[in-house]
Structure 1
Amino acid sequence: MVGPVPEDVGYRGPTACSAAGITYRQLDYWARTGLVEPSIRGAAGSGSQRLYSFRDILVLKIVKRLLDTGVSLQQIRQAVQHLRDRGVEDLAGITLMSDGASVYECTSADEVVDLVQGGQGVFGIAVGRVWREIEATLVELPAERPGEPPAEHPGDQLAARRRARAAGA
């Protein structure tokens, strides 16, 4: 069973990329085009940091897997909209199946079998399994709560330069 989703914890772009297995360029493009936008804090100008929720990262990883199977961006946009319309608790019981052209939602093993026997499903994503993978990955990565001063993030060279400049170094 999947654990509860912390709703007040956010993850910066580089952390979301690491957990979802995507590049920062993909993340930025998907946010700017509305495919997967950060639900905790969006970009508000130069130097601002987007904050992605656990659920956002789950959707990012699913988008990545669908792209890897050759599903069109148009079909992925429809699938993402469908996922947005569902509650977080419902996501863990879904298996997304794809034939490379369309995406199908299955909520039971019988539906998966019917789809495969019908020759439509050739690739499946068990969302509950992706959920657990992301949970395990995020335990090791930095998180922050909106409204709190940002924690020091490894590799954040720009922030280190700003601090050094502010300190007169």
Structure 2
Amino acid sequence: MADTDFPARDQGVLFNDGLTPLDENAGYRGTSACKAAGITYRQLDYWARTGLVEPTVRPATGSGTQRLYGFRDILVLRVVKRLLDSGVSLQQIRTAVEHLRERGVDDLSRITLMSDGASVYECTSDDQVIDLVQGGQGVFGIALGKVWRELEGSLATLPSDRGHEPPTIAVVDELAELRARKATAS
């Protein structure tokens, strides 16, 4: 992110602001995360492998395991998508996301990300937004509180999984399997 005169804050979880209490164990599979964020599965996979946005509910632990993305993960995906669509380079987006993670935020609804296409600026007040626009630096802005509310609506229609519950595997012996096939055939 561009160097600005914002006061330092305590370190914390990215987007920890108290808008809506979230179920930390609710997770969304890759296809649902892609649909909610408006990205392709290829982008999702690349960003997970390169560490831009990794799933926090359940990471991939090997072949055949399902990644589960939490609400905040999908929020970051959606913001990354908007920044990319606005012409910000992926390198600059990585810097901005890392800055927010390191710094933490107190109130998501008050943050607006502004960009001139080359740099990303974090604004926490109307005065900072006005200063950027008047200085010719800010070309577009993304109000994170609005993105949060939009995402809540999008995810309400998508299926979620429970991240802490391991998948159940039915153990069936060969005789029981044979009986079940005969019963359905009759």
Contact residue 25 and residue 164 of structure 2 kept, 8 A? no
Alignment partner of 2:81 out of 53, 64, 84: 64
Alignment partner of 1:12 out of 26, 29, 46: 29
Q: TM-score, normalised by structure 1?
A: 0.84
Bigger Cα Rg: 2
CA shift, 1:139, in A, is 0.7
| Alignment-mate amino acid for residue 54 of structure 1 | F
Alignment partner of 1:73 out of 90, 96, 116: 90
Alignment of 1:131-150 (within 5 A): 131-148=148-165
Alignment partner of 1:46 out of 58, 63, 71: 63
CA shift, 1:36, in A, is 0.6
Alignment of 1:42-121 (within 5 A): 42-87=59-104, 90-121=107-138
- Percent identity, please: 73
CA shift, 1:90, in A, is 2.7
- Structure 2, unmatched stretches of 5+, are 1-17, 169-179
Q: TM-score, normalised by structure 2?
A: 0.77
Q: Which structure is richer in relative contact order (CA contacts within 8 A, separation 6 or more)?
A: 2
Distance 1:147 1:5, change over 3 A: closer
Q: How many pairs are equivalent?
A: 154
Q: Which runs of 4+ in 1 moved over 3 A?
A: 86-89
Contact residue 95 and residue 124 of structure 1 kept, 8 A? yes
1:36 paired with 2:84, answer no
